[in-house]
Amino acid sequence: MRECIEAHIRMEECYEGLSLTYGDNPELKKEVFEAVEATIKETGLKPEIFDNPDKEHPEREGIYLEFHEEAQRDAGDFFDRVLHKLNVVCPRND
């Protein structure tokens, strides 16, 4: 069972996305969804949310949050708030 949440941020010209992988750990999944919902309430922003269940590889389960160009400037703050609530630090992909 996965013991920690893995996060990756992707930024492109017209969108920003945050991937949060919690695997087969229902407690981590609950933490992720609670952090996202709390941040939506705090900011009023609503990213597109893609759930990624994977029955063949449950260790890969997670969600992907995505903002498009109209909310792109606020996406970074939204992602920071979610990551702070989850005590997650993202690795740099230089």
pLDDT digits (tens, 9 = 90+) for 73-83: 788 899 999 99
User: Which residue segment(s) compose the domain that 35 sits in?
Assistant: 6-86
Average pLDDT over residues 62-70: 87
Q: Considering the entire predicted model, what is its pTM?
A: 0.86
Report if residue 1 sits inside a domain: no
- DSSP H or E stretch at residue 10: strand 6-11
Report if residue 94 sits inside a domain: no
Give the domain CATH number at 75: 3.30.1360
Predicted local confidence at residue 93, as pLDDT: 59
d(CA 74, CA 67): 9
Report if residue 79 sits inside a domain: yes
Average pLDDT over residues 2-22: 88
Predicted local confidence at residue 13, as pLDDT: 79
- Domain count of the fold of the chain: 1
Average pLDDT, the chain: 87
